[in-house]
Amino acid sequence: SFNLTGLWDSTEYSIAIRCASVVSIFWSDWSEEKTASTEETAPSEKVDLWRVIESSDSAGSRSVHLMWKPLNSFPPSGRILGYKIQYFPENNAALKMTNNSTTKKINLLLNEEAYIISITAYNSAGNSPEAILRIPSTDEETSQIIETARTFTTNEDLVVEWIASKSEVSKYVVEWYEELETDNFDRSWQYVSNSTNWKANKKNFKPFICYNISVYPLYGNKVAAPYSIQTYVQEKRPSEGPVADTGVPGKNEITIKWKEISKEKRNGFIRNYTIFYKPEDGKEL
């Protein structure tokens, strides 16, 4: 017999054996393959967790949309069976509630208090470390730590840069989504550590579509007020122009009005409007 060591957890291996005599230089044929899997271990990494908080309704309830990314640990520790979500008011841990989910998102209906939320992934061997987020109370004031931000593109990337007023803030979340997107779960995010810039490949963004980008500073267990901007990775001329209305002309003047071009047909930022006019059968002015 022989013990194989250094194998990965929760991994299927195929094994075959051949032999040779001590008095021969020739090897036998390979044996029939046998397949077996190593045991699972508990996930070693916490999930990548983020949230979208809606405004409170008239009854004082608000929807908090939690979403998280799958574990990317390699080698894998095992097949994830589900996720455990626990949450409680920050000032009353005795009111802890627990939900379970097999998807990577959940909507919680919370009151206006501050809440602590934790999520763990689990498999047959145990639980991952907790990913923890704090949901602020509705009357909590958060400072504007980011003074300004800008976006620009290179040949391959979209880049976001920002300036923060507090140097002790060393972690941020960059969140982005299409301006016309209405599904709060269809947002993307990425944590940024020890840097005040972030970049992503332009191929991950659609051309001629406006994106909302927000940068959230993190300090302690709190999330400060975001700085939000809009950007396009590529622009082109609008799909249609404005329709002008001259109304009732005066003696020596006329007021020209038009409606804004719909967002889905702008294909970029509208920088200005140019008005052409001329006397009837005259020269354009």
Same-domain check for residues 161 and 220: yes
Same-domain check for residues 53 and 130: yes
Handedness of CA 70, 74, 78, 79 (dihedral sign): positive
- Asked if residue 125 is part of any domain, the answer here is yes
Determine the Cα–Cα distance for residues 17 and 28; give it in Å rounded to an integer.
9
Say which residue, 254 or 121, is predicted with more confidence: 121
Percent of the chain with pLDDT over 70: 97
Same-domain check for residues 87 and 131: yes
Write down which residue in 92, 109, 135 finishes a domain: 135
| pLDDT tens by residue, 118-156 | 999 999 889 999 999 999 999 988 889 999 999 999 999
pLDDT at 249 over 80: no
- Asked if residue 77 is part of any domain, the answer here is yes
pLDDT class for 75, splitting at 50, 70, 90?
low
* Residue 215 token pair: 């940068």
Lowest-confidence segment of 39-48, 66-75, 94-103, 150-159 by average pLDDT: 66-75
CA neighbor of 107 nearest in space, from 212, 183, 217: 183
Determine the Cα–Cα distance for residues 42 and 254; give it in Å rounded to an integer.
74
Determine the Cα–Cα distance for residues 58 and 52; give it in Å rounded to an integer.
19
Tracing tokens 């508990």 back to the chain, one arrives at: 42
pLDDT at 73 over 70: no
pLDDT at 285 over 60: no
Instruction: Find the CATH number of the domain harbouring 177.
Output: 2.60.40.10
Torsion, Cα of 158, 159, 160, 166 (10° steps): 160
Backbone angles phi, psi at 87, to 5 degrees: -155, 150
Residue 267's domain comprises 238-285
Question: pLDDT at position 23, please?
Answer: 85
Write down which residue in 108, 135, 162 finishes a domain: 135
- Asked if residue 22 is part of any domain, the answer here is no
> Average model confidence (pLDDT) for the chain?
90
Determine the Cα–Cα distance for residues 279 and 145; give it in Å rounded to an integer.
55
Same-domain check for residues 128 and 153: no
Question: pLDDT at position 235, please?
Answer: 94
As a residue count, the chain comes to 285
pLDDT at 9 over 80: no
- Asked if residue 34 is part of any domain, the answer here is no
Write down which residue in 216, 231, 246 finishes a domain: 231
| pLDDT tens by residue, 80-100 | 899 999 999 999 999 999 999
Question: pLDDT at position 282, please?
Answer: 67
Single-letter amino acid, residue 113: E
pLDDT at 207 over 90: yes
| Whole-structure pTM value | 0.83
Question: How many other C-beta atoms are found inside a 10 Å radius of the C-beta of residue 29?
Answer: 8
pLDDT at 74 over 70: no
- Beta strands (DSSP E) in 80-170 are 82-89, 97-101, 105-110, 115-123, 126-127, 131-135, 146-153, 157-164
Handedness of CA 190, 192, 196, 202 (dihedral sign): negative
Say which residue, 8 or 236, is predicted with more confidence: 236
pLDDT at 283 over 80: no
Determine the Cα–Cα distance for residues 101 and 104; give it in Å rounded to an integer.
7
pLDDT at 63 over 80: yes
- Going from the C-alpha of 161 to that of each of 127, 132, 152, 197, the distances in angstroms are 37, 27, 9, 4
The total number of structural domains in the chain stands at 3
Single-letter amino acid, residue 46: K
* Residue 251 token pair: 């003696």
Question: pLDDT at position 41, please?
Answer: 82
β-pairing, 244-245 vs 211-219, is unpaired
Same-domain check for residues 227 and 243: no
- Going from the C-alpha of 125 to that of each of 45, 147, 172, the distances in angstroms are 14, 46, 33
Same-domain check for residues 258 and 276: yes
- Asked if residue 33 is part of any domain, the answer here is no
pLDDT at 253 over 60: yes
- Asked if residue 163 is part of any domain, the answer here is yes
